Structure 1
């Protein structure tokens, strides 16, 4: 969540300042990115939960989602084109959709006490909100220090770190 919002909230600025598009071209690119994200999000959301249930696995799909996010961040970092941002929308949008669908099931599976599920899920929701809030703050600081060239590898590092932490969960497959 943290890494996704590092990039998502800055799409317009990335297209204008990093890629070099005009406002009009950036707006057109964001329109295409939005459609791509919507399509892959629908596909990812509708299929990933069912696949996870059928496999009886939660960690593998969540890790795949994190890797899809990392690939999405890598493309604009190395290609620096508007098309790479459209690819970001596809890979990261799919990763975010899979993550959102399967991570909720993973969260429920690791709850320590089913009688306090509401409270525990509320705490997890606060963590999600913190990621959505802190990601853009970190991006702002990174851009101020070194420009957008530093934002993408940091986002990749956080997505990979998420995979490591997910693997550390022992109570769920």
Structure 2
């Protein structure tokens, strides 16, 4: 059994994820929409085109990330650190450092890009860097944490996601940073904090028996595991539902509620703060609950249903006050879903020698959902010339994600079934 880690480990781990989420979601929520809106919609009558271009860029970045994350995880599973300097020892560290520094470089390039095509190319690099670093840091959960601390690690990631948005967007808005300055600010953060955390966190070499098992096994067997596959499907679909409900908020304020640009930016920050508060609360409460009770599946499903309610209320009565309430409900649902869902996913990992790759897939299921959402949402907005279908589909997909998650048995159910069947 793995030994429990201390507060220092959790603090450094949380800081790493705080910065990872900042560099991924601050551009998604604010910098990219502003950058592309200024490049595509200067005449004021092509805002739908701006939404579509933004969604396409984020979607393509997500598709590239879905390959980069699991690939980096699989390579880290097989990394032999014998030839590296001591500070680069272990399987995960070199990938975490490389992903962090690569992300920083591509953020700078994105800031200087002056055409949508160049923005898209640079953002693909950001998506790859984030996917690589995320896969390395996520693998540490399975490598080093006992089962009764995995909910806490999930809470650290979930609350960091929410806090990362509000700190990132808040810094850009309150400091009056330009789009370029915002990208440069994020690049410095990920280079310093991301790479620094990778050096500070322990990263022991893989056991010899694990390395031997890697040499002769079916590389696709994890995806053929029934429970792991249902969990992945639910995680992907529910994250698309979340992204539909949150990623186009700026455009919704500008063109759905007809707010002025300065008011929309201020109100976006207010929405993000409300969302953040409830994500953090739900992440911590659900993480502690799941660690103490060992229950993962049912809380994850309930959280997806709460998330669905937020889309319904905004769709039915699209005002700013109702949108605030919807953001709070979305925060509760997504905070609990992401936190307990990650602990549930870690419990369901089928094969120890594939932890890095499989957690990379788990991570990408969430990240891909967050990046497919804007692309799908842009199509829904363009199809009806408004936002009602966007929030309706956010609710539908959240429900579907919860139902798919329900099909995956939790660890205790699997154990009892295996005993009864004689396995």
TM class by smaller structure: over 0.9
Which is bigger in relative contact order (C-alpha 8 A, separation at least 6)?
A: 1
Of stretches 17-26 and 96-105 in structure 1, the one that deviates more from structure 2 is: 17-26
Of stretches 74-83 and 110-119 in structure 1, the one that deviates more from structure 2 is: 110-119
For 1:16 and 1:77, the matched residues in 2 are separated by 16
Larger radius of gyration: 2
For 1:75 and 1:57, the matched residues in 2 are separated by 29
Q: TM-score, normalised by structure 2?
A: 0.39
Conservation of the 8 A alpha-carbon contact between 1:16 and 1:22: yes
Structure 1 counterpart of 2:196? none
2:294 to 50, 56, 60: 56
Conservation of the 8 A alpha-carbon contact between 1:6 and 1:151: yes
Q: Which runs of 4+ in 1 moved over 3 A?
A: none
For 1:10 and 1:99, the matched residues in 2 are separated by 21
Q: Secondary structure at 2:245's aligned position in 1? A: helix
Conservation of the 8 A alpha-carbon contact between 1:5 and 1:131: yes
For 2:391 and 2:275, the matched residues in 1 are separated by 19
For 1:36 and 1:152, the matched residues in 2 are separated by 18
Structure 2 counterpart of 1:45? 283
Counterparts of 1:132-143 in structure 2, within 5 Å, are 132-143=370-381
For 1:74 and 1:93, the matched residues in 2 are separated by 14
Matched positions, count: 173
- Quote how far apart the aligned CAs of 1:79 are: 1.1
For 2:309 and 2:254, the matched residues in 1 are separated by 21
- Quote how far apart the aligned CAs of 1:107 are: 0.5
Counterparts of 1:115-126 in structure 2, within 5 Å, are 115-126=353-364
RMSD: 1.5
1:158 aligns with 2:416: no
Q: Which runs of 5+ in 2 are unaligned?
A: 1-238, 414-423
Structure 1 counterpart of 2:248? 10
